[in-house]
Amino acid sequence: MIIDHGKGLVFRPPAEANSLILRITIGCSHNACAFCAMYRRTKFLVRTDDEIFHLIELAAEKYPLTRRVFLADGNALVLSTEQLLSIISKLKSTFPKLTRVACYGGPRDILRKTVNELTVLREAGLKIVYLGIESGDDGVLIRVNKGVNSMEMVAAGQRVLKSGIKLSAMVILGLGGNEKSAQHALNTARVLNLINPTILSTLTLTLYEGTPLWESVQKGEFIPLSKEETLLELRQLLSNIQFSRPCIFRSDHASNLLPLSGTLNKDKDKLLSELNDVIDFFHGR
């Protein structure tokens, strides 16, 4: 369910398929990650309160029983806490059955908010933030121009969780390429262990023409992983994850070769066993 009068394509996490997608911004405030083509041609703008409230009224006519709302586009947390509170308050008064509001949060935007501000947002109704960690390796984060280092990413993830908001973290298999695969896997596991997100999803690197990473591949500066190498990297990542609280794990994104799901650490051995079966298949055993 998309209420949209803006430009460009609309993206949302798979888990928000049944949510009302409300574009409070158009595009991404960062819009500089070397692998990302999502909003590359979309000029970033924040919608005015009048526009947003008008969209909410339109949505109420079409979808009055809305329970979940996803605030799009790329980094809704770029808005001030006051703006977000006023939008959530309008949503609550418009949709009596509303149970949760969710959004993407860029690490720098999260770090611009205090734990107290995030807690107030959670109490107002912001229940889940999706954070693209992508990698826990500083070299990879610099190369893909994520805009933060690994410890800033840890601080952002921990801050969301400290406020009581659920954190859905995403990492990208293959983002270190052939050269940095091992350090990408090990350091991503290290960062994930420090954050211990509520939900963890792995995506597999997809190269899009026109992105800086795609250009690097053309120049031979970045060698993508093969399917088998991607599975080996996932095994290295999973093997090194050691959470202290349960974390829902999914690798069900369309980009992935092998859909896996379970709860970490409880299902770690089962997930590794499923993964090993497929790796053996590649080895012809």
Contact status, residue 242 vs residue 194, Cβ threshold 8 Å: no
Which residues are at the interface with ligand SF4 (CB under 6 A)? 28, 30-33, 36, 38-39, 74, 106, 132
- Closest approach, Cβ 75 to ligand SF4, in A, equals 6
Q: Which residues pair with 201 in a beta bridge?
A: 170, 250
For residues 208-242, b (16+ Cβ closer than 10 Å) or e, as one string? eeebbbbebeeeeebebbeeebbbbbbbbbbeebe
Nearest approach in angstroms of CB 106 to ligand SF4 is 5
**CA R_g for the chain:** 19
Cα angle, residue 250 at apex, residues 249 and 254 outer, rounded to 5° = 165
> Toward ligand SF4, which CB reaches closer, 52 or 213?
213
Residue 31 CB, shortest distance to ligand SF4, in Å, is 5
User: How many CB atoms neighbour CB 195 within 10 A?
Assistant: 25
Q: Closer to ligand SF4 at the Cβ: 36 or 79? A: 36
Shortest reach from residue 28's CB to ligand SF4, in Å: 3
- Closer to ligand SF4 by Cβ: residue 36 or 225: 36
Least distance (Å) between residue 58 CB and ligand SF4: 25
Nearer to ligand SF4, 66 or 168 (CB): 168
- 178: number of Cβ within 10 Å: 12
* Residue with Cβ nearer ligand SF4 (36 or 234): 36
The distance of closest approach from Cβ of residue 84 to ligand SF4 in the complex, given in angstroms and rounded to an integer, is: 18
φ, ψ at 21 (rounded to 5°): -95, 115
Burial (0-12, 13-18, 19+ Cβ within 10 Å), 26: buried
Nearer to ligand SF4, 32 or 223 (CB): 32
- The answer to whether 156 touches 107, Cβ cutoff 8 Å, is yes
Could you say which DSSP state residue 226 is in?
Answer: P
